[in-house]
Amino acid sequence: MKNKFIFMAVFSAILLTSCGLGQYGKSDTDAKVSFKVPDWGESHWIDIPENPLIGNEYTDPGMAIGDPQLLTPGDFDGKWHVFFHGFGFGPGATTFFHQISEDGIHWQEVSRQNGEVGIQYVFCDGDRWIQYYTCTTSKTDKPELKKYHNVIRARTTRDFINWTEPVDIIYPETPAERDGYNVQARNPCVILLPNGRYRMYYSAGTVYLRDAGYEEPKYIFCAESDNPLGPFKKLGEPILSPDVNLPYRNYGCGGFKVFGYGDGYVAFYNPIYIDSNQKSRSEIRMLVSDDGLSWKEADGNPVITPNSSYPWRSAIVYQLDVINHDDALWMYFNAREGWRGGIERIGACRLPLNGATPVRKLQKKFKL
C-alpha cells in the first residue's frame, strides 16, 4: 500500500507539471475584476465578407503569414498599415511584410524583407516606433545565441523604411522558458503602465503539434523595465499556464495581446488545445484583469473559433490585433486551413460598439 501511495504521488506530480500546474504555474485564476466585463462573445462578431483579406495569392502548401499588427488612419499618416511575418517566401528564415490600404479591407504591398524578423509587435513610443520581434537564431550572426532557437529583439524606426540596429531583449533562460520541444522566447506584446514603466508579455516553453508538424507556445510570462529597449526584469513564474482540466487550454497558451479597458485590462489570446478527436486546435478567447497580472476568463468566451463554414479558418485560429475604428472593434487574425502542409492567411471580424467603451492600445501617440 505504501509503495502504491508513493507511485500515485509521483505520478500526480509529473502529470501536474506536464500540464503547467506544478512548479511552473497555476490553473485558471479566481482573480477579482472590479469593472463590468463586456459581452464580446463570438455571436457579436461579424465576419468580413471579403475574408481572408490577405494571402489569397499564397497557395503553395506550407505557406504561412501571421501575427498582423495594424495602424489606422491618423496613427501614422492617412492610410491603414498592416505588418506581418511569413514563412516559405524566400531564402531567409522569415519574411517581414508591410502593406497599406484605404479601407482596411483591400491591401497593397509596400515592402517585404527576408531575414530574421518573425512574430512581431509594433509599439509607439511617441517620436518613434519600436518593433519587438521574434528572432530565429539559426540565422543570427551572434555565436552566443546559438543555444536558443528563438529570442526577442527590438529595433526602432520613424518612417518604417529606415531601422536602427536591433538589440536583444529577452532570452529563454529559466527552466520553464526552456521547457518543451524548442527553446524559444516569442510573441512579444508591450504596454505602457500608468507609472510610466513598460511591461512586456511574451510566450516561452513549447508544445509540439504532431498533426501540424511544428511547435506552439506553452506559457505566458511578464517582464518590466523603465526603458522600452531594456533591460527588462522578468517577473518570475508564468502568469498563464496550460491546464488539463480546461478543454480550451489543455495543451498550451499561445500568444497574448493586452489592451486597456477603463481602469483595467483586457487580453485576447489563442490557447492551444487537443480536441475530442485528438486534433490540435486554437481559438481566440478574452481575459480580464485589474492589474494585468492576475487574469480571469470572460464569461462570453470564446471570441473566434475554428469554423468549417469558413474554410480559411476551419482548422486553427491564431494570433491577432484589435483596433478601434468607426465605432467598432476590428479584430485581425491569422488562421489555418488544414494541419500539416496547411495554408495560413489573415482575415478580420468586426464588432459594432454602438457607443460602448472600446479597448485601447497602451502606448504613446506618435508625434515627431
Query: Measured between alpha carbons, how far is 310 from 68 in angstroms, rounded to an integer?
Result: 19
Q: What is the pLDDT of residue 61?
A: 78
- In whole angstroms, how far apart are CA 299 and each of 40, 242, 349, 353? 9, 19, 20, 18
DSSP string, 111-170: EEEEESEEEEEEEEBSSSEEEEEEEEGGG-S-GGGTT-SEEEEEEEESSSSSBPPPEEEE
Contact 201, 186 (CB under 8 A): no
* 3-state DSSP assignment of residue 267: strand
Query: Measured between alpha carbons, how far is 55 from 82 in angstroms, rounded to an integer?
Result: 13
Q: What is the pLDDT of residue 137?
A: 78
Query: Each residue of 340-366: pLDDT tens digit?
Result: 999 999 999 999 999 999 999 999 999
Q: Is the per-residue pLDDT at 212 higher than 70?
A: yes
Contacts of 14 (CB under 8 A, 6+ apart): none
Grid-cell match 517582464, residue found? 223
Name which residue leads in pLDDT, 60 or 132.
132
Pairing mode, if any, of strands 285-289 and 296-297? antiparallel
Question: Is the dihedral angle over the CA atoms 181, 215, 189, 58 positive or is it negative?
Answer: positive
pLDDT band at residue 146 using 50, 70 and 90 as cut-offs:
low
* Entry pTM: 0.91
Q: Is the per-residue pLDDT at 152 higher than 60?
A: yes
Query: Measured between alpha carbons, how far is 111 from 133 in angstroms, rounded to an integer?
Result: 17
Beta bridge partners of 344: 64, 336
- In whole angstroms, how far apart are CA 1 and each of 9, 10, 12, 95? 12, 14, 16, 59
Q: Mean pLDDT over residues 306-321, rounded?
A: 97
- Among 311, 247, 244, smallest CA distance to 282 is for 247
